[in-house]
Each structure stands twice: as structure tokens, then as C-alpha cells.
């Protein structure tokens, strides 16, 4: 009996020790995960900072350089660094709505430089007005670079933890903006609002395109409660634990569309993670959605991810979309889809879909361009036959594929072209011949590597 009296307390004591050890292991594992996630965000931040610094430095070099060849090289580097910085910024745990102008600045800096490259290739040097725009871009890039450098110093001193920044999602927006990250980048937003000239150029992010009245929204106006339900349904109602409105009626960063912007805390997920989503006030359309979760184990192939993206678009009601290029980075694949009307590819009506390579989840969606541009067009008929258009292409260009495409020009106008894909001296190119006049409108170089397909 004496042994039995000691048996139960002994078992309970052993169980307590086991639970204590298990709890410590779980606590330690959680801390390791937080450290790993914080390190990942720091890496993204450093990459973004380096790219912004390169944009700023190369802009200053362009303003000094006189050589056409050197200017083309520098403008190409600015274009690449600005796009990379924007992509890194979109993955940072910072309030999306607070950074709309910063994202637009990086996108426009990239596209403006790309348009100047095209002008140079057409024999048109930089004008005084364009140089003034470059000065303004360089000034803003310099200011942004300084703000990021100050943030970098705080990170090095241990005064900024990105996990703490992420936890702002369950707080009020005013309190969220008090954190160091948002405060500094919001400061840049305020400056750029008052010191940013309109950029006139031929590019998908030009102000001329952004200011076009959207055509693909429909007519009904939705209130905030209806918009919440639309957002929850898009993500999956069962996945939503909490939905919080950021703002109402503000124009989305990627399109001239008034929208409601929400933060969604997913069910059965850490409170530190949030999904961002924007719903148009007119028509109740999803403009964009971003789920910046980390992707650890990459199990899927690009073809698997493409099937997930196709099924997603079909399910959401986007018919007739075909993939055109892709980019693989940080455990995800970003696909660009263009709308196809009968046998004509319409590049202005494009949608971007980002797929996680661990489980095929859609972690990014951007239909801004589609909602701006999509409508039932009365497509023109080609005046030239395919054979006549072929005669306008360089003789030793090895053509592999031909199709009709409607491409944007000068921001607003669209022109029907024959699109010739093929090889020239070992490299892949796309040549666009105007289907009405026979003019050689555009040439794109296709870059293929292990990370995807890009056209420049």
C-alpha cells in the first residue's frame, strides 16, 4: 500500500516533466521559426534597399552621361533594379495601402527608363523635359534610399524586428502606422505626393493609362459590407477568421479605381499573418489580393503551378485567358495571362497570378490592368495577309510561331499586329508587324532561364 501511495505522485511528476520538456521544445521551435521569418524579411529588405540604391546611383549617372550606348546600358539597369525593388517591397510586412505611391514610383521609374531606351533606339536623344523628369525621379529615389538606410541602421542596432511589424494587423490602423517601418515609408509617401511630375511615355504604368476610365467594372455600386462578403468569398469564407477595413473610396495603386481595402486574418493561422485584398467600389470586382506568407518546401513544378493558376482563373470567372510569361522567385511563380478574343491575343487585358510552390495556393492576384481595359471590342480585320507581313520581317529571322495580337501604343491607342516568335543568331525574339500598314512596330527579346520567361 505504501508503494502504491508513491506510485501515482511519481507518475504525475514524470508526466509534468514530460509536458514541461514538450512545452520548452515547442517554445524553442516557435522562437526558431520567428527568427527564421525575421531573417527572411531582413533579407528581402536588404535586397530592396540595394536595388533602390542602384536606381538612385544610375539615375545620377544618366543625368551626367552623354554617350548613347552608356545611357542605354544605365537605363536598362535602372529598369531592372526598380522592378526588382518593387517586387521585394510587395513581399514586405508593411501596410499595402500606405505604399501605393511608392510602388507606383518604382513601376513608373522602370517603365519611364524603358521608354527612353526605345526612344534612343529610334534615334531620339533625351529632351530637356525628359531630363527634368529624370531629375525628379532621382530626387525621390535619393530620398527613399536615405529612409531605407536609416531603417537599415535601426535593424543593425536591433531596434526593428519584422515580426513585431507583422503583428500590427490585429491593431487599429493608427497604431499600426506608429511602427518604425510604416512611419518612415509613409514619410516618403507624403513627400512623393507633392514632388512627382506626370510622366508621359509609352508604357503600361504611364499616367496616361492609369487615368483612363476603367471599362471592366460593371455598373452596380457596392457598400462596405457587400465588399467584405466579396473579399471573404474570393479568399474562401471558411478561411477567414477576421476581416478589417483599411480605407474606403481611395483609388487603387495599380488602376484609376475607387476601392475598399481590407486585411484578412486567416483561420487556423498565426495572428501575425494577414492577407491583403482590394475590392472595387463600382462593380464589386477584386482588383488585387496579396498573401505574403513564406514558402518553405518547394514541391511543385512550374507546369503544376500553371495548372493551379488556370483552374483558379476559370473558377473566378475569367475565361479565355492564356499564359504569356512567368517569373520564378522565393518559392513562388508569377504568371502573366492575357485575354484572347477569338484568335487575337489582347495584351492590355492581362491578369497576374502568383502560385506558391509548396501546395499550389494562390498567394497573389492582380486584375487591375484587366479591369481598366477589358470590354467587348470591335476588333479590326488585318489588311495584310500573314505572308505579306512575313515579308516585312528580317530574312534570316527563324520564325517558329505566328499569331494576331492587339498591342497598346502611346498609352491609349491599340493596334492590330502579326506577332512573329522565333530565333535570330541564337537568341529568342518577338517581332510585331502592323497588320494594317506593315510597319515594324516593336521587337521584344525573350529571356529564358531556370527562373522563367521574361520579355524586354
The contacts of residue 20 (CB under 8 Å, 6+ apart) are none
Query: pLDDT value at position 293?
Result: 82
Cell representation of residue 230: 466579396
First vs last Cα of the chain: how many Å apart? 85
**DSSP H/E element including 288:** strand 286-290
Question: What secondary structure does DSSP assign to 430-443, as a single string?
Answer: EEEEETTT--EEEE
Q: Whose CA is closest to 143, among 109, 97, 189?
A: 189
| Alpha-carbon distances of 244 from 286, 333, 375, rounded to whole Å | 16, 28, 32
How big is the CA angle at 217 (ends 201 and 313), to the nearest 5 degrees? 90
* Whole-number Å distance between alpha carbons of 393 and 386: 11
d(CA 431, CA 398): 11
Nine-digit cell string for 362:
494562390
Q: Which residues pair with 333 in a beta bridge?
A: 328, 355
What is the residue-level pLDDT of the chain in tens, covering all 456 positions? Answer: 555 555 556 666 666 665 665 565 555 555 544 555 556 667 777 888 888 888 888 888 888 777 788 888 889 889 889 988 888 877 776 655 556 677 778 888 888 898 888 888 878 888 888 888 888 888 888 888 887 777 766 665 555 555 544 444 444 433 433 454 555 566 566 665 555 566 666 555 566 666 677 888 887 899 999 999 999 999 988 888 888 886 555 554 445 788 998 888 887 655 447 888 999 999 999 999 988 788 878 889 999 999 999 999 999 999 999 998 888 877 889 899 999 998 999 998 999 999 999 999 999 999 988 999 899 999 999 999 999 999 999 888 999 999 999 998 766 689 999 999 999 888 889 999 999 999 988 888 887 777 777 676
Burial of 375 (0-12, 13-18, 19+ CB in 10 A): exposed
Class of residue 392 by CB neighbours under 10 A (exposed 0-12, middle 13-18, buried 19+): middle
DSSP letter, residue 379: P
Place of cell 532621382: 138
Pairing of strands 332-341, 413-424: unpaired
* Cα angle for residues 242, 246, 249 (degrees, 5° grid): 130
Q: Helix, strand, or coil here: 376?
A: coil
Predicted local confidence at residue 131, as pLDDT: 85
Amino acid at each position: 500500500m505504501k508503494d502504491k501511495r508513491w506510485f501515482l505522485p511519481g507518475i504525475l511528476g514524470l508526466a509534468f516533466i514530460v509536458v514541461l520538456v514538450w512545452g520548452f521544445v515547442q517554445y524553442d521551435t516557435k522562437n526558431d521559426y520567428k527568427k527564421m521569418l525575421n531573417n527572411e524579411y531582413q533579407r528581402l529588405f536588404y535586397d530592396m534597399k540595394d536595388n533602390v540604391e542602384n536606381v538612385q546611383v544610375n539615375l545620377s549617372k544618366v543625368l551626367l552621361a552623354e554617350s548613347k550606348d552608356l545611357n542605354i546600358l544605365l537605363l536598362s539597369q535602372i529598369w531592372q533594379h526598380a522592378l526588382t525593388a518593387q517586387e521585394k517591397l510587395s513581399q514586405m510586412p508593411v501596410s499595402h495601402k500606405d505604399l501605393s505611391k511608392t510602388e507606383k514610383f518604382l513601376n513608373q521609374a522602370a517603365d519611364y527608363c524603358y521608354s527612353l531606351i526605345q526612344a534612343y533606339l529610334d534615334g531620339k536623344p533625351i529632351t530637356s523635359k525628359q531630363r527634368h523628369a529624370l531629375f525628379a525621379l532621382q530626387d525621390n529615389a535619393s530620398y527613399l534610399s536615405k529612409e531605407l538606410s536609416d531603417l537599415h541602421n535601426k535593424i543593425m542596432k536591433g531596434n526593428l524586428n519584422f515580426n513585431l511589424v507583422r503583428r500590427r494587423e490585429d491593431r487599429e490602423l493608427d497604431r499600426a502606422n506608429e511602427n518604425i517601418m510604416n512611419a518612415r515609408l509613409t514619410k516618403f509617401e507624403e513627400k512623393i505626393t507633392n514632388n512627382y511630375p506626370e510622366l508621359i511615355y509609352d508604357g503600361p504604368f504611364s499616367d496616361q493609362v492609369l487615368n483612363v476610365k476603367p471599362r471592366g467594372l460593371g455598373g452596380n455600386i457596392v457598400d462596405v459590407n457587400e465588399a467584405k462578403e466579396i473579399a471573404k468569398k474570393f479568399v474562401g469564407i471558411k478561411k477567414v477568421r477576421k476581416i478589417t477595413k483599411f480605407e474606403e473610396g481611395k483609388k487603387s495603386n495599380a488602376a484609376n479605381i475607387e476601392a475598399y481595402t481590407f486585411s484578412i486574418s486567416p483561420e487556423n493561422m498565426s495572428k501575425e499573418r494577414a492577407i491583403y485584398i482590394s475590392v472595387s467600389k463600382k462593380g464589386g470586382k477584386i482588383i488585387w489580393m496579396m498573401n505574403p506568407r513564406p514558402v518553405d518546401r518547394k514541391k511543385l513544378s512550374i507546369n503544376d503551378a500553371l495548372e493551379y493558376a488556370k483552374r483558379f482563373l476559370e473558377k473566378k470567372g475569367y475565361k479565355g485567358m492564356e499564359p504569356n510569361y512567368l517569373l520564378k522567385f522565393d518559392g513562388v511563380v508569377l504568371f502573366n495571362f492575357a485575354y484572347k478574343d477569338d484568335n487575337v491575343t489582347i495584351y492590355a487585358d492581362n491578369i497576374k497570378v502568383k502560385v506558391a510552390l509548396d501546395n499550389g495556393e494562390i498567394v497573389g492576384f492582380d486584375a487591375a490592368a484587366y479591369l481598366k481595359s477589358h470590354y467587348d471590342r470591335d476588333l479590326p480585320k488585318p489588311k495584310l495577309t500573314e505572308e505579306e507581313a512575313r515579308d516585312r520581317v528580317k530574312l534570316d529571322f527563324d520564325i517558329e510561331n505566328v499569331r494576331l495580337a492587339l498591342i497598346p501604343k502611346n498609352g491609349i491607342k491599340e493596334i492590330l499586329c502579326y506577332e512573329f516568335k522565333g530565333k535570330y543568331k541564337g537568341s529568342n525574339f518577338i517581332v510585331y508587324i502592323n497588320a494594317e500598314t506593315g510597319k515594324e512596330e516593336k521587337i521584344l527579346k525573350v529571356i529564358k532561364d531556370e527562373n522563367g520567361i521574361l520579355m524586354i
